[in-house]
Amino acid sequence: METNYDVIVIGAGPAGYEAAIRASQLGLKTACIDKSLGLDGKPVLGGTCLNWGCIPSKALLDASHKYVEAKDHFAEIGIKTGKVEIDVPAMIERKAAVVKQLTGGIASLFQGNGVDALAGTGKLLSGCNVEFSPHEGDAVVMEAEHVILAPGSVPVDIGAAPLDGDAIVDSTGALEFDAVPKRLGVIGAGVIGLELGSVWSRLGSEVVVLEALDEFLPMADDRVARDALKTFSKQGLDIRLGTRVIESVVGKKGVTIKYQDKDGDQTMEVDKLIVAVGRRPYTQGLLAPDSGVNLDERGFLYVNDLCATDAPNVYAVGDVVRGPMLAHKGMEEGIMVAERIAGHKPLVNYDCVPSVIYTHPEIAWVGKTEAELKASGEAYNVGQFPFAASGRAMAANDTDGFVKIIADAQTDRILGVHIIGLQASELIAQAVIAMEFDASAEDLGLTMFAHPTLGEAVHEAALGVSGNAIHMVNRKKK
């Protein structure tokens, strides 16, 4: 096997595989090492996102949403059906097929772009040397001019709810249930907890979400968070804030959860328990003591704004470095590093990283919230437009939510966009593009949007910043 490369990437998740492909496209001899094994025990590419995270969860979210639509809402739009039933094994099988197609696609992209895919473990040694330990066979030391570390992240464990792989599971295990739990507990009301809770609630579970924080979705816009909590509660999610789980015991009939809230000690029985309290950088076995790469106080690999570590010619990208653990953020970092190694000078605009929660309604945002601007003392204006006034949303029978645009009071430059509603994950791209080009709310308001579309809500919110919205009564500016 080859042992000398221009670039060696450790990790084939979104950050790593995109870095490897782009480096090879730029003429750099590239290898990508990944140790992941699929459920069949065979090597797989794509990391957590494609195999156990973003993609499989969205497959189940979409399937469960279609089930609810058919069961509860088709009649409202004039479609009559017989009894609508679910087939959980078929859903899981389809999810697995989607994952297999996408991960196989990465293998084809590696082959087509000349990236050497190496199945096994990679450890960074000193001087850009990498110890590669294949799943079968002896370890070899490989030499590289540059190394990109992209090992990703893993779910956080908590002592109060030890995983057993059956009754108490993490986000990966929650994607493999073969039947709908009658009563389901979820620890954590963040992105993962809400998405997984939504899946099984739609399919018939009584879902209780236990969240330690007193505030719901503190990273989101306050109004968005309030509306989301109200909507999710109506959908059947029992979200209990300010709760601290003390103990979880597996018994013959399920899991007994002991927790504390403002009223004192509480006990709850569930059939299954999902632990979704966040993720942590995965650095186990990644670094030799003399690698020269340092970790920060939270366990992330320390990097500068260009994703360079303290070791010469060694970079780190994705979930293992500072910033939000989002696949698209890691992808952009991976491509930036590959480009810079090849002599180009791109940058990642960390002010324009969108976030999405794929519940229904979807939640998406980019930039600053009102709370952040108030705390910093910055003057701003707000435009907001409800989907209840959108003709396209009415036609789709899905009018929950709104679009909110925040702009600088002096320059009118867009500072943040917050959306809760149908296809928020798609609409937020309009905001990201506008902000990437330093657009003002007026720029967006003067842009022509097709009619009728959901995107018109973005247009109207932009007009509303200056009090000029057409399809709603404008609030008088103070």
The 10 Å CB-count burial string (b at 16+, else e) for 411-428 is: ebbbbbbbbbbbbbbebb
Q: Are 366 and 355 in contact (CB under 8 A)?
A: yes
Task: Tell me the pairing of strands 183-187 and 380-386.
Answer: unpaired
Q: Where do we find the tokens 């087939």? A: 87
DSSP string, 345-369: -----GGG--EEE-SSSEEEEEE--
Q: Specify the DSSP class assigned to residue 276.
A: -
Token pair, residue 173, equals: 């295990």
Asked if 467 contacts 477 with a C-beta cutoff of 8 angstroms, the reply is yes
**99/214 Cα distance (integer angstroms):** 36
Residue 293's alpha-carbon distances to 19, 176, 316, 345, in angstroms, are 19, 36, 9, 23
Q: Which of these, 206, 359, 197, lies nearest to 274 by C-alpha position?
A: 197
Q: Are 469 and 390 in contact (CB under 8 A)?
A: no
Structure tokens at 412: 């009118």
Q: Is 81 exposed, middle or buried (0-12, 13-18, 19+ CB in 10 A)?
A: exposed
Hey, how many other C-beta atoms are within 10 angstroms of the C-beta on 295? 14
Structure tokens at 279: 């993720």
Residue 451 annotated as catalytic:
yes
Rounded CA separation 197/402 (Å)? 23
Q: Say how far apart CA 403 and CA 434 lie, in whole Å.
A: 15
Task: Of 52, 51, 53, 12, give the one whose Cα is nearest residue 31.
Answer: 12
Q: In the beta sheet, which residues pair with residue 187? A: 210, 275
Cβ within 8 Å of residue 119, ≥6 positions away = 34, 35, 43, 134, 135
Cis peptide before 452 (omega within 30 of 0): yes
Report d(CA 77, CA 83) in Å as an integer: 17
> Per the residue annotation, which of 73, 451, 459, 471 is the catalytic one?
451
Cα distance between residue 383 and residue 459, in whole Å = 10
Which residues make Cβ contacts (< 8 Å) with residue 378, sequence separation at least 6? 408, 409, 415
Half-sphere exposure of 386 (CA within 13 A, CB side): 10
> What is the identity of the amino acid at 133?
S
d(CA 138, CA 444): 59
Would you name the residues annotated as active-site residues?
A: 451
